[in-house]
Structure 1
């Protein structure tokens, strides 16, 4: 796995290089202190991950990441910055992580471990025969990869999460609460918008206020007015199926 570092402060760049070498097998091939130089580099070469500072000359890190997000083959982006206020924007750009300075060694080590695991998983998907027959297949695979890796936000941190680890989502006023086995995340978007990012074959909009992971349903309980209440694996939670969704839900679940 190859990486580049974009950082205009030499001490910060050297510290990050040290931590990457100490806690991962990632190879840092190039370092840059200017955003335009990075774009020129990427026009001719590819890299797997970019460790990207925000406050850099010529083209700041957010604009650079926005440009990179339009690439057909997009590298992972890990923001490394002293500024908390850009975390939401980083999430919208589907950054892998958002690491604050000064660096916390344990935090960096954990991020690098997740990064290498995500890279290995995605490489395995890319090499599967049914997904690598032609260019079109590769583009479809990239779409699948994007849809099965969901960025969740908690305490100004971006947590890259496998969609299968999400049990359900619930609308709560102007935000959406997302439930995994051990955490609850607050997303600053409507449930309709959040549901649109989820794999269609895995999640079902069972109610105007709920989206449920069909693979996590443990029990389907008949409820009032010929509706259902869904009990989920691992969680002490119940998710309703609205009356307008009952017929479709029965077809999906072959009831």
Structure 2
């Protein structure tokens, strides 16, 4: 498929309503592209949406628009980008866009969760799973409009007065507000479905930039839009302790403390996690306190 003209997939844009998001949808599969364009054109916050059936065609379009800057009349604010495409993948295209002087925002769209961490490393605003649910799509557009409004320059000036308020944030999706981590259950999104994980089932959390991957007793890893620092602050009373800049662990989940050549590590299930020198003393003190019958939060 990839690389051909979107043709009928692009169709005609609706008559401009007012200044708003200008979006480019990229997918090598025509039905998926049609669906994405339908959702974009049906959203009041989107004033212009067009499609490209492959990365090569999309780059030609963006090379003209992005090269002129965000203030250009035919500029693109955001690219809704499929990841698995023949030839240049969505991740490849994102790398190329990063080299533009004023690249558009990126929302990855895919049927698989496997690329989530790499996608967010590329500073994607969001990661939509197929089949796309309308409420999840609405939330994604909200994130885009907020990111643009918070930016500096002509993009922000154009967006702030003209884009209507987006729908309230959906709890349980990537990007949920920090208050979501304060309860006993953590909302996460898996396969387009919002599920709730008991915090007491969480064994450790691994940092991924501004995101975190939550591991449970069942071995499941959920990617959430929270920093490790925010989780540490909220979950300290539940028995979680920072052992490394990358790891936050439940004290009760530590099965072994290992010392090898001066380096300290802990074992949780089949995972061996490094303990930084900065955190080593606090961890030892807490483990000794626990062994002597001290506070036993996070059972």
Question: What is the TM-score of this pair, normalised by structure 1?
Answer: 0.53
Unaligned segments of structure 1, at least 5 residues: 129-149, 178-188, 193-206, 210-255
Counterpart of 1:101 in structure 2 is: 130
Structure 1 counterpart of 2:23: 3
Greater fraction of residues in helix:
1
Instruction: Determine the C-alpha separation between the residues in 2 that align with 1:41 and 1:9.
Output: 18
Report the counterpart of residue 84 of structure 1 in structure 2: 113
Rate the CA distance shift 1:173–1:167 in 2: closer, same or farther, 3 A: closer
Q: Work out which of the residue numbers 72, 83, 107 in structure 2 matches 1:54.
A: 83
Specify every segment of 5 or more residues in structure 2 that has no aligned partner in the other structure, as ranges: 1-20, 67-75, 158-208, 214-220, 234-240, 249-272, 280-299
Q: Counterpart of 2:115 in 1: which secondary structure?
A: helix
SS of 2:114's partner is helix
Q: Deviations over 1:36-93 (max 9, x none)?
A: 2222222211211000001223211111111112222121110000011011110111
Distance 1:40 1:125, change over 3 A: closer
Displacement of 1:17 in angstroms is: 1.8
The answer to whether 1:14 aligns with 2:34 is yes
Name 2:97's counterpart in structure 1.
68
Asked whether the equivalents of residues 5 and 28 of structure 1 are also in contact (C-alpha less than 8 Å), the reply is: no
- Displacement, 1:11? 2.0
Name the structure 2 match of 1:159: 225
Contact 1:151 1:159 in 2 (8 A): yes
Residues in 1 aligned to 2:45 and 2:82: alpha-carbon distance in whole angstroms = 21
CA distance 1:20–1:54, change in 2 (3 Å)? same
Which whole-Å CA distance do the structure 2 matches of 1:37 and 1:99 have between them? 22
Residues of 2 paired with 1:45 and 1:125: CA distance? 15
Give matches, 1:196-235, under 5 Å: 208-209=278-279
Q: Could you tell me how far 1:173 is from its partner in structure 2?
A: 4.9
Partner residue in 1 for 2:63:
43
RMSD of aligned Cα (Å): 3.8
**8 Å Cα contact 1:91-1:158 kept in structure 2:** no
SS of aligned partner of 1:94: coil
Deviation at 1:123, TM superposition (A): 4.3
**What TM-score do the two structures reach when normalised by structure 2?**
0.46
Q: Paired residue for 1:119?
A: 148
Distance 1:94 1:59 in 2: 19
